[in-house]
Structure 1
Amino acid sequence: MVKTIIIEEHGGAEKFKLVDREVGEPGPGQIRIRHHACGLNFIDVYQRSGLYPMQLPHAMGMEGAGVVEAVGEGVTHLKVGDRAAYASMPPGAYCEARVMPAAQVCPLPDAISFEQGAAMMLKGMTVEYLFHRTTPIAKGDFVLFHAAAGGVGLLACQWAKSEGIRLIGTAGTDEKCQLALEHGAEFCINYRNADWVSTVRELTGGKGVHVVMDAVGKDTFDGSLDCLRPLGMMISFGNASGPVPPFNIGALGPKGSLKITRPTLFTHIADHATCQAMAAHLFEKVVSGAVEITIEQRFPLAQVADAHRALEGRQTTGQTVITVG
């Protein structure tokens, strides 16, 4: 029996329950992993609230790191005793141990701690696909990134700098803007005291950015389109302020024949080989020092509700982990 966080109905953070569950043995294509830490992500909030509905009751959490305890038939890339990390469907990472599909679980290099592994997989592979698998981005191109001091944002700042991409961030305080700058953003705009659309235009000589990466959603969508240069790409990959309402796709023509996409990480990592390649690229960035994974907040498993409240209240910066054991 292991401690596991579940929800029995959608709603606020108070809906979490800590229960004892039997783990069992892995079947074909599965492993059992004993967690050392789990990640915290906005997708967890969307699933808990019901924005992304789930069949209930259901265990929660999309990301974790630990040691492989058992391996099912047909699993060849992992063995008992391996250090491993993952971001993967189905939810269930908020627990001491679990049985899960092995295909998206990745061997974790010794140079990366369990906490770093738990904090980096979902956000780091998201940054990997944003910069390498969504639209061509060349050295010297401008990218606008909202919530630049958040978990994904600070990784994106570092990733962009490592590849000579000119990242313009937005954040809600001067302190968060400074943090984004320290992590590699070329510019960062405090959206609470500046017209960020006009500022982006000024910073790009009136041309606009090549790409917008927007996980905020409803509050920034229209302005993000206005920041793009002709033929620019809008990547809407999250809904932190709420889902983007319906809009007239015809507006993209007069604004400069703009392009728009709404990708998800789980489409990219559904293929085992692609998932492992994305993780290897991420691990390379971290081990080389180009991207640093710093844990800013820690919450024990029993305090997952507090972690969610902090995340939703925009009280976190960088990476947050749920500690296990």
Structure 2
Amino acid sequence: MTRAIQIRQHGGPEELELTDVPVSEPAAGQVRIRHRAIGLNFIDVYHRTGLYPLPMPATIGMEGAGVIEAVGEGVTHLQVGDRAAYASMPPGSYCEARVMPAMNVCKLPDAISFETGAAMMLKGLTAQYLLKKTLPVEGLQPGDHVLFHAAAGGVGLIACQWARVLGLQLIATAGSDEKCQLALANGAAHAINYRTEDFAARVKDITGGRGVKVVYDSVGKDTWDQSLDCLRPFGLMASFGNASGPVPPFAPGALGAKGSLYVTRQTLFSHISSRQATQAMADDLFAVVASGQVKIHMAQRYALADVQQAHRDLEARKTTGSTILTLP
């Protein structure tokens, strides 16, 4: 048996219950990992509320780090005793130990702690595919402007630093002056408090009226329309989340009127659909973190038993950087 956080129905944070669940031996292609730390992400809220519905009862959580306890047949890239970290489907990381598919589990370099590993895999791999793979038709070159919403969050602070490494001029938005300062301290070239400023107007000022080549948006409904106004002709609107709610239907003709724009809805799990792709992206992330060029900010830690409060704080946008759940 292992301790785990489960939900028996979709709903609010009060649905998250600490309970005992059985844990088995891994089958072919699986591993059993004992967690040392667990990552908290906004997708966990979507699973809890039912925006992304799950069969019940469900253990949620997409990210963790720990030690491999057992290896199933056919798994060759991991051995018992290896330090490991992952961002992976299916959900289930809110627990002390779990059996899971081995495909997205990667050996964690000795230079990276378990807490850092748990805090960075989903968010860091997301920043990697956004900045390296989710590109406008004209590509990105050093000096180009990009707009990144929620830039003081876990993905955002990694993206601010990584964009600076790539020579990009990242324009950050956040919901308070303090969060804007945090984004600037982590490499953003400009920061806009979207609660007190018209971010579309500021973007046009910053870019001399041209607009940005790409907008990276995990906020959704509240930022969508103005974000389209921030793009230059042939620019890319890259949606990868819905923190304020799903984007409502829109007329494709509006994209033509605003400059023949492109729109894409990205998800990490399309990018890590093979062992080779997962490892290549993880190696890129491990290298930039181990070098010190990108630092992972763990601004909040909660005990696994306090996960209800963690979800309340995340939904209230009280958090910055990455949040982890700790184990005894």
Do both proteins adopt the same fold according to a TM-score greater than 0.5, normalized to the shorter chain? yes
**Partner residue in 2 for 1:197:** 200
1:303-318 to structure 2, matched below 5 A, reads 303-318=306-321
The CA distance in 2 between the partners of 1:69 and 1:192, in whole Å, is 47
Which of these residues, 212, 215, 220, is aligned with residue 215 of structure 2?
A: 212
TM-score (structure 2 length as normaliser): 0.98
Q: What secondary structure sits across from 1:53 in the alignment?
A: coil
Number of the residue aligned with 1:41 = 41
Of 219, 223, 228, which aligns to 1:225? 228
**Corresponding residue SS for 2:282:** helix
Are positions 1:177 and 2:180 aligned together?
yes
Q: Which residue number in structure 1 is paired with residue 247 of structure 2?
A: 244
Q: Distance in 1 between matches of 2:244 and 2:299?
A: 22
Aligned pairs for 1:5-154 within 5 A: 5-135=5-135, 136-154=139-157
Once residues 100 and 141 of structure 2 are traced to their aligned partners in structure 1, the CA distance between those partners, rounded to angstroms, is: 38
- Give the total of aligned pairs: 325
2:78 aligned partner, one-letter code: L
Tell me which residue corresponds to 2:166.
163
Counterpart residue identity of residue 87, structure 2: A
Deviation beyond 4 Å, 4+ runs, structure 1: none
User: Would you say 1:301 and 2:309 are equivalent positions?
Assistant: no
Paired AA for residue 95 in structure 1: C
Q: How far apart in 2 are the matches of 1:88 and 1:146?
A: 24
Alpha-carbon distance between aligned partners in 2 of 1:89 and 1:223, rounded to the nearest angstrom: 33
CA deviations 1:271-305 (Å, max 9, x no partner) are 11001100010000100111001211000011111
SS at match of 1:75: coil
User: Residue 190 of structure 2 corresponds to which residue in structure 1?
Assistant: 187
Query: Structure 2: which amino acid aligns with 1:147?
Result: A
Deviation of 1:139 (Å): 1.2
Q: Which runs of 5+ in 2 are unaligned?
A: none
Q: TM-score, normalised by structure 1?
A: 0.99
Distance 1:122 1:22 in 2: 26
Question: CA-atom RMSD, angstroms?
Answer: 0.6
SS at match of 2:214: strand
Residues 126-159 of structure 1: CA deviation (Å, up to 9, x unaligned): 0000011121322111110001111111001001
Write the deviation string for residues 26-48 of structure 1: whole angstroms up to 9, x where unpaired.
00000000000000000000010
Structure 1 portions without partners, runs of 5+: none
What is the distance in 1 between the residues matched to 2:206 and 2:89?
A: 40
Structure 1 CA distance, aligned partners of 2:49 and 2:43?
A: 10
Instruction: Name the amino acid aligned to 1:89.
Output: M
User: Counterpart amino acid of 1:248?
Assistant: A
Partners of 1:142 and 1:223 in 2: CA distance: 16
* Separation of aligned partners in 1, 2:294 and 2:32: 29
CA distance in 2, matches of 1:112, 1:95: 21
Q: What residue in structure 1 maps to residue 288 of structure 2?
A: 285
Deviation at 1:12, TM superposition (A): 0.4
Question: Residue type matched to 1:120 in 2?
Answer: M
The separation in 2 between residues aligned to 1:32 and 1:172, in whole angstroms, is: 40
The one-letter code of the counterpart of 1:222 is: D
Whether contact under 8 Å (2:154, 2:297) holds in the other structure is no
The secondary structure found in structure 2 opposite 1:253 is helix
Q: Which moved more, 1:101-110 or 1:136-145?
A: 136-145
The whole-number CA distance in structure 1 between the counterparts of 2:247 and 2:155 is 19
Letter in 2 for 1:6: Q
